[in-house]
Structure 1
Amino acid sequence: MAAPDRIEVATALYGAWRLIRGDAGGVAYFRAGREGFWSAAWAVLLVVPGHLMTLGLHVSGDDMVRFGLEDLVRETEILVIGWFGYALLVFYLLQGLGRSNRFDGYMTAYFWTTVPLVYAETLLTLLRVVGLLPDALINLLGLGLLMLVLWVRWFIARTGLGVAGFEASAVVVGTMVFDFFVSKTLSPLL
């Protein structure tokens, strides 16, 4: 599958923005079906710079930790493993539950909404490092961002998988456990 062109990326990011705002109509801005999934999978290339910048900013204040080229490569590999590993996990879980028809739509929304959420975290980390805002406000914004990410993941699970609120909450918890396992197991920086 070829990478999406800039018009498709812009359209998909607009759809992601609408989903983040709680508008289920945002999915209409994504390519449908398996092609939509593979197109959205390319969003990892948009996520990598923000993710690496966030990690670099986190360790910049720690004199004991270096963040060099080897770390950039390793963290990129970890992100890609998590990115496609989560998709593979969801694929087999949905197949086992007899809901494989929901895979493409769910993962497409999940991938595209990850892009703005990652950059929101990068911006917050930059504000923390630069010290433009008081620590109390940064901490409050961090809590708000965490709540936003959890809510977006819940909303996407509920609408994309067609499940009830409690089941969507279980998906969010499972996603968090998977992300935690991948990042903490593979990354020495975290």
Structure 2
Amino acid sequence: MTLPTIGEVAAAIAGVARLIRLDATGFLMFDASPRGFWMSFWAAAVIAPMVALNSLVFAISQGMTGGLVVQMVGDVLVFAIGWMLYPLIMLPLADWMERGQHGLRYLVGYNWFQVFANVVALPLQLFAASGSLAGGIEQLLFLGFMSALLLYGWFMVQKGLDVGPGTGAALVMVDVVVSLLVAAMAMQLPGLTP
């Protein structure tokens, strides 16, 4: 797979910037073709080092001294499985809902948005792992971040797939359930911490 061009990356950044402002025209900035869909998977390559770093810091903060590489590789693999699984569920679901013509548009925007979400999440995760935040502040920041992700997800699925608020909420729950299932499966893997 070839790398996205500078223009494609710039358009993706511009699209995400609009989505962050709850501007649905952000979806118009993305290449919603099959090629654009596959190019959006490069966002995972940007996120994977953040997942590895977070995994390393978390493992060290939990007192792990051995198996750090196994933990990091395992966490990155779990991330990759989740990254692949969501589109495999959403594309047929969009077709079933007669929104298949919008499926690629939604998923391209969703994929690129994940870079922004992970850039915001990483410092929060690092502060939490370091123990430098008081428990109440850490929980409040986590709750605020997760609430924002759910609201952004709700906005993006509504506008990206052109569905109503109730359907959008149900589709956000699909994303949450997929994430929880992947996390639950990861906890069953030997050598990985929850």
Q: Structure 1 length as normaliser, TM-score?
A: 0.90
After superposition, the Cα gap between the structure-2 partners of 1:167 and 1:123, relative to the gap in structure 1 and judged at 3 Å, is same
Q: Deviations over 1:113-134 (max 9, x none)?
A: 1111012111101222345544
Aligned residues: 190
Structure-to-structure mapping, 1:139-158, within 5 angstroms: 139-158=139-158
SS of 1:43's equivalent in the other structure is helix
SS of 1:31's equivalent in the other structure is coil
Alpha-carbon RMSD: 1.9
In the alignment, what sits opposite 1:169? 169
Q: CA contact under 8 A between 1:40 and 1:111: conserved in structure 2?
A: yes
In the alignment, what sits opposite 1:160? 160
Q: Deviations over 1:124-167 (max 9, x none)?
A: 01222345544332322211111111011101110011111111
Counterpart code for 2:92:
Y
Which runs of 5 or more structure 1 residues have no equivalent in the other structure?
none
Q: CA contact under 8 A between 1:3 and 1:42: conserved in structure 2?
A: yes
Structure-to-structure mapping, 1:1-190, within 5 angstroms: 1-64=1-64, 66=66, 68-187=68-187, 188-190=192-194
Counterpart code for 2:149:
V
Kindly state the Cα deviation for residue 63 of structure 1 after the two structures are TM-superposed.
1.8
Counterpart code for 2:180:
F
Larger mean Cα displacement after TM superposition, 149-158 or 17-26: 17-26
Distance in structure 2 (CA, Å) of the matches to 1:68 and 1:10: 35
Kindly state the Cα deviation for residue 29 of structure 1 after the two structures are TM-superposed.
2.1
Q: CA contact under 8 A between 2:59 and 2:68: conserved in structure 1?
A: no
Kindly state the Cα deviation for residue 75 of structure 1 after the two structures are TM-superposed.
2.0
Which runs of 5 or more structure 2 residues have no equivalent in the other structure?
none
Kindly state the Cα deviation for residue 67 of structure 1 after the two structures are TM-superposed.
5.0
Distance in structure 2 (CA, Å) of the matches to 1:71 and 1:133: 24
Q: Deviations over 1:35-85 (max 9, x none)?
A: 221111221101111122222222322125755222222222221121111
Distance in structure 2 (CA, Å) of the matches to 1:72 and 1:55: 5
After superposition, the Cα gap between the structure-2 partners of 1:42 and 1:64, relative to the gap in structure 1 and judged at 3 Å, is closer
Distance in structure 1 (CA, Å) of the matches to 2:67 and 2:115: 23
